[in-house]
Every structure is written in C-alpha cells, then in structure tokens.
Amino acid sequence: MDGPARRALKANARRNAAGGFGRLWRWRSTRAAAWALLDRHVPPGATVAVVGAGNGQDLPLRRLAHRAGRLDLIDLDEHALSRTRRRLRLSGVRANTFTQDVTHGAADAVLRQILSGRPRGATPSGGRVGQPPYDVVIADQFLSQLLYPALSDSDLPTRAVNAALRTYGQSLTNAVVADLAAAAPGGVLILVEDVLGWWDGHPQPFTLDEVLALTDPDEALALVARGRTARGADGRIALTAARAQVVDRAFWRWPFTSGTDYLVCATVARCAL
C-alpha cells in the first residue's frame, strides 16, 4: 500500500476509532429514523449490502440483519468491520464482511496526483462491489469521505483542498454510485448522506429544525441547496447520472457530538436492470 492509500486509510480509520458505546447511545434516535425508512424498502429475506459500514453505529444493523436473508458489510477499514461484526455476533446476529476500496483505486490515484502537485484527475473504471447481485444496497454516509479525510489531514491549504474537491470529487462520486447501482440490478439503492453540518464557527443560513419541519422533500432539498454543503459529493446528482429512479426520500438529525449536528438526507432509488 503506497503513501496516498495509507493516508486515506489512516484518515478514515482514525475517525472510525473515535467511535464507542457513547456514540451508540447518542445516535439511537438516528438509528430509529433510519429504520423508519429502511422498514419500507427492505423486504424480508432480501440480500443486503451496507457500503461504508465502518463502526455501524448510525444504522440499525441488528434490525437489518434480522430482516435480511443475507447482510454484507463493506468498508475500507478492516478493523472497524471486525469490531462491528463482533458486536453484532454478541447480539445474536451474523453478517459477512468485505474489506474493499469501492473506488477501485481511483481515489488513491487522485490523491497521489494532488499531493504531488501534478493533478490530472483519474478516470474511475467500473468494478464489482461486494458479492452482487443485491436486492438492496445502502451507502452509509461515505460519499463525502472519498477524498476529504486524506486531503484534510494533509499539509494542503484549505483553499487547495476545496479546489481539489470541486474539481475531482463529483466525477468520483458519480463513478462510485454507478457501481453501487450496478450491484443491485432492478433492486434498490439507498444513499444515506450527511449533507449539512452545524457547529461553532460553521453556521448555516437556516436551522436544522427549519429543514426537518418541511414536509415536502423537494422544498427541503431546495433549502439545503442554500446551505454550505460538502463539495463534489452530491449523491443526488450521481443517481441521475446512473439513471436510477428516485422513489422515496427522508431527512433526519444526526447528533454527531456535543455541539455538532448534521442533517442526513436518505434517498431511495430503483436501479436499472
């Protein structure tokens, strides 16, 4: 594993390692909100993949495992997956784990070029995700993390990081979402995205409660577009590029830490055959 690959893994692993039982308790409302959506779209006995599973603390994995006929957990961080599988096993459920870079090396290539000062971009090639076909694929809040953690932990100035995300992020996001959709032909792809954050020094032009008060998803998305969203990581754009048909959408609060809250947007789409 070369420098950029190690840097990307280390950046994500460090964030995963910050998890613990405190988060499990703090995020119980997040898991409940997620299940309210998943309950509508995961049929009994379904073959389900959760990509970006990591610590698995923001999704109701135990409920998913009971509902699914097979549950595959996929992440770049092998140690986080092992911890999650062990925790699930102690609760009486089983899940398969796959350590995989779902960008198939494209993120590492982009990072290598940016950090070397010779950015050219990378053309991501399609690749298999997990062990398809799946009935349901869930992307668990990782699209904004494809490039950002490693770039943020680098010595690049903030302006250069933002420019790199704007230039290369969306094409990489589109490629990853296309591969996720291909893993569920005729099935369902659910993108769970942390679209906006609120913390000290990072204000938004509206409150999180104002978004959650809206009952029309389109109105909520229009309001979200006015905020300070993640650069180059729009899963909704990627779903359009993948020709997936949106059938449902939900929003909820993610109380990340004390003083830091995120708005989660979960989009359910039917994939092409």
Residue range 131-154, pLDDT digits in tens? 999 999 999 999 999 999 899 888
Regarding pTM above 0.75, the answer is yes
Predicted local confidence at residue 202, as pLDDT: 94
> 21 pLDDT band (50/70/90 cuts)?
low
> 17 pLDDT band (50/70/90 cuts)?
low
> 7 pLDDT band (50/70/90 cuts)?
low
Predicted local confidence at residue 121, as pLDDT: 60
Please give the biggest Cα pair distance in the chain. 50
> 25 pLDDT band (50/70/90 cuts)?
confident
Instruction: Decide if pLDDT at 2 tops 80.
Output: no
Among residues 54, 257, 45, 224, the alpha carbon closest in space to that of 139 is found at 54
Which CATH number is correct for 3-270, 3.40.50.460, 3.30.2130.10, 3.20.20.80, 3.40.50.150?
A: 3.40.50.150
